[in-house]
């Protein structure tokens, strides 16, 4: 297994270093901006296995690997997916074994070749019920459903809107960072940390940046 993993990691590293972006039709300059909606609509579709040259069949099941091997493969695969702008992104803490299994089970997928906006690895097949995917209890769809449950569209004052944003963000970071959540506390959303002039906590930004920092949460 060790020799096989060495070769597999070498193949993944080669795919990462040689990432290229096939474009259908005329060549497109990455400096020609278009909206994310337009790119989503017109981006060419590519088979991820063919594009990277890595097949899901090459990835051993997690139950035949030890933790250190899973960690090495997971790190290499995430780096490769980033190189192809097909990033594997989770919003909560998930054990490495489950992350690896999720990539392995969903590696055979069609992806949009995006060069102007971020692209993401699909975590489950379309139509999969919540918590029935490889992520199980760490299902990201159910996370978002629970995060926003109980919140309805309503007219809020700026103060109420800010308090709502604080509540949502705190719930989010608690789920994402677990016991370490307080390290990421969103002071800028908490009125208790405004300065004597009512300006939001700005994490040490210069005065000239305060207006932008104060307003980002409204967007």
Sequential DSSP letters for 54-84: --GGGS--GGGS-HHHHHHHHHHHHHHHHHT
Q: Which pLDDT value is given to residue 145? A: 67
Q: Return d(Cα 154, Cα 152) in angstroms, integer.
A: 6
User: How high is the pLDDT of residue 216?
Assistant: 39
- Whether the Cβ atoms of residue 58 and residue 8 lie closer than 8 Å to each other: yes
Average pLDDT over residues 131-157: 70
Q: State pLDDT tens for residues 3-56.
A: 999 999 999 999 999 998 876 445 556 567 778 888 888 888 999 999 999 999
Instruction: Tell me what pLDDT residue 219 has.
Output: 41
Flag whether pLDDT at 215 surpasses 80: no
- Residues of the chain with pLDDT > 90, as a percent, come to 36
Q: What is the pLDDT of residue 166?
A: 80
Least confident piece of the model among 17-21, 109-113, 183-187: 183-187
**Low-confidence winner among 146-150, 189-193, 202-206 (lowest mean pLDDT):** 146-150
Would you state the pLDDT for residue 21?
86
- Give how far the C-alpha of residue 47 lies from the chain's centroid of Cα atoms, to the nearest Å: 20
Eight-class DSSP state of 30: T
- Lowest-confidence region among 76-80, 132-136, 139-143: 139-143
As a whole number of angstroms, the distance between CA 199 and CA 10 comes to 52
Q: What is the pLDDT of residue 129?
A: 79
Answer for the pair 124, 133: CB distance below 8 angstroms, yes or no: yes
CA 80 to chain centre: 14
Stretch 47-76: mean pLDDT, rounded? 96
- The better pLDDT of the pair 192, 156 is held by 192
Give me the pLDDT at residue 209, please.
Answer: 46
pLDDT on residue 3 = 93
In this prediction the pTM is 0.63
pLDDT of residue 29: 63
Task: Name the token pair of 105.
Answer: 């089970």
Q: What is the pLDDT of residue 25?
A: 47
Lowest mean pLDDT among 64-68, 111-115, 168-172, 205-209: 205-209
């Amino acid at each position: 297994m060790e020799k096989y993993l060495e070769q597999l990691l070498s193949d993944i590293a080669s795919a990462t270093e040689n990432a290229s972006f096939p474009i259908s039709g005329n060549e497109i300059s990455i400096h020609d901006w278009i909206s994310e909606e337009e790119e989503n609509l017109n981006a060419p579709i590519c088979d991820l296995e063919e594009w990277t040259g890595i097949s899901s069949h090459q990835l051993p099941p997690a139950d035949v690997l030890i933790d250190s091997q899973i960690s090495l493969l997971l790190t290499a695969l995430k780096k490769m997916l980033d190189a192809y702008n097909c990033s594997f992104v989770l919003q909560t803490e998930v054990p490495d074994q489950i992350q690896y299994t999720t990539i392995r089970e969903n590696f055979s997928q069609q992806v949009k070749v995006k060069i102007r906006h971020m692209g993401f690895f699909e975590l489950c097949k379309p139509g999969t019920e919540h918590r029935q995917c490889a992520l199980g209890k760490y299902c990201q769809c159910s996370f978002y459903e629970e995060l926003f449950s109980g919140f309805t569209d309503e007219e809020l004052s700026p103060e109420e809107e800010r308090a709502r944003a604080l509540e949502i963000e705190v719930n989010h970071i608690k789920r994402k960072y677990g016991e370490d959540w307080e390290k990421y506390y969103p002071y800028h959303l908490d009125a208790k940390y405004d300065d004597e002039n009512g300006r939001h906590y700005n994490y040490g930004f210069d005065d000239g940046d305060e207006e932008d920092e104060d307003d980002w949460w409204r967007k």
